Structure 1
Amino acid sequence: MSTSDVSQRLWSSLTAVSGSFERLQNTPVTWVAPAAFFLLVFRLYPLVEAVRMSFTDMSLIEPGYEYVGFESFVSVVSSPSFWTMGRVTIIFVAASVTLQLVFGMILALAIDYGVSHKLSGTISTRVAVLSAWVIPGIVIGILWKIMLIETNYGVINYMLLQVGFDVVSFLSDPQMALLSTIMANTWRGTAFSMIMLYAGLQQVPTHLYDAARVDGAKALQRFRYVTLPQIKPVVFINLVLITIYTLNTFDMIMSLTGGGPGHATEVLALFMYFEGFQRFNLGEAAAVAVLMLLVNVVMTAVYMRLFIDGEEM
């Protein structure tokens, strides 16, 4: 075979490869592949691994492990502290999600009203609210701890002392500590609800409001019979996401109260951390993670039943 034949075949191969690459660039696979790879490596694999670990007696202080079936789940569920954490988690999640949804809706409506009437201060309001969302949870916990610390140097207690009140035990009283974590988490998560709901409000046709005004509907009636039905899918997605985020809240509570006093603010996510990295029971910590995943799935199904009602989103 001559040199010219080899060169021609090599050039034909390079041309074919180049053509195949160009065709691949024009398909969705090229653009979806990086995201799919990220989800497989950093989302799906850890999920599968956590489920696998939940059926073992894996420990951080023992090199080997065995598959023990549902023993880790039985051990977790039979623990009295688990049900204490469960009750705290239910209160924390229910109160936080409700307050985030309510305040997020109020802020979204206020900003939508301000933008539509060209009022000043709408941009600064959005920036101020969004700043709470972009700050890491560990920093938020530290900031709230500085404000709620029970000395004269605590910001809120200092202001209370200035007007004649006594120092409030925000972090040492069990009920007040749980209330403080709910307040901090609400302040942190309201911005996300505001973003979602404000985006939903932009999709409501203005002619529906005009027709409601012609029919004599008041502001509350327009909100109930026009706004809410139109943004129901957005409310559903918002509820699902903030419930998942709140149920998995760990960093903020860790830096704010550390789960104390006692176990007053120890939610399941924090209980899972302590089980795995303080008591070194990775199998039981994974079992708690799987149970939390099941709770998320059940809550999503409940929200679908309440908000979708067979309608397509």
Structure 2
Amino acid sequence: MKIRGTVIVRTSVLVAWAIPGVVIGVIWGMLYNETDAGIINYALSTIGLGPISFLSDPTMALLSVTLANIWRGTAFSMILMYAGLKTVSKDILEAAIIDGANAWQRMKSVILPAIAPIILVNLIIISIDTFNTFDMVMALTGGGPGNSTEVIALSIYTAIFREFNLGEGAATAVVLLVINVGMTMVYLKVLGKRGAVES
């Protein structure tokens, strides 16, 4: 579509795909720094706002970690959605235009039904990845303040390697395994149905 800025947006999103989670945590830590050295707080101070307690306030810390994790997972989702959109038949879209369908109707009745299986697969894979997030949260907040940003994988690490509570850590790890296996079964079922439809 030759929209301005698409190269910058693609680059900034796809960079997350190549950077390790620990490095992402460190980068976002510099962005969220609550002193004058923090990039976001410095930018806010230039317009008379801030400073914001991104990582010391429990609610803000959870929102900040969530935002960083969304940015990290956007690249994978973008690649899947782009591939899904490429599978939509141009003939069907042209037929919809000839029939008088506007952009919203084409999106609702043609594009979304065509890429619905890919959207579902994307949601399942991203959910599995989110449940197993460890490195980025460890580098960014370490699960703090308190345990406001402690994810399941980090909780397992804390129980086993910091508190030496092997029983609790092992039990939590089994719960995480069950969650992952359940989501994987759903993923395989979706792929099986999709393959049956295509064949």
C-alpha displacement of 1:300: 5.1
Q: Which runs of 5+ in 1 are unaligned?
A: 1-113
Q: 1:146 and 1:121 mapped to 2: Cα distance?
A: 25
Paired position in structure 2 for 1:223: 107
Instruction: Describe the SS at the equivalent of 1:231.
Output: helix
Q: Aligned pair 1:268/2:159, yes or no?
A: no
Q: 2:57 and 2:4 mapped to 1: Cα distance?
A: 42
Paired position in structure 2 for 1:279: 163
Answer 1 or 2: higher relative contact order, Cα 8 Å, separation at least 6: 1
Change (3 A) 1:120 1:186: same
Contact preservation (8 Å) 1:272, 1:285? yes
| Within-5 A mapping of 1:1-313 | 114=1, 122-299=6-183, 312=196
Q: Which runs of 5+ in 2 are unaligned?
A: none
Q: 1:153 and 1:120 mapped to 2: Cα distance?
A: 31
Q: Percent identity?
A: 53
C-alpha displacement of 1:149: 1.0
Q: CA RMSD in A?
A: 2.3
Change (3 A) 1:119 1:265: closer
Instruction: Describe the SS at the equivalent of 1:172.
Output: coil
Contact preservation (8 Å) 1:236, 1:304? no
Q: 2:136 and 2:23 mapped to 1: Cα distance?
A: 7
Q: 1:178 and 1:125 mapped to 2: Cα distance?
A: 25
Change (3 A) 1:188 1:167: same
C-alpha displacement of 1:124: 4.9
Please say which structure displays the higher CA radius of gyration.
Answer: 1
AA partner of residue 129 (structure 2)? Y
AA partner of residue 293 (structure 1)? L
C-alpha displacement of 1:184: 0.3
Q: 2:38 and 2:8 mapped to 1: Cα distance?
A: 27
Contact preservation (8 Å) 1:204, 1:227? yes
Matched positions, count:
196
AA partner of residue 262 (structure 1)? G
AA partner of residue 155 (structure 1)? I
Paired position in structure 2 for 1:73: none
AA partner of residue 149 (structure 1)? N
Runs of 4+ in 1 over 6 A off after TM superposition: 302-305
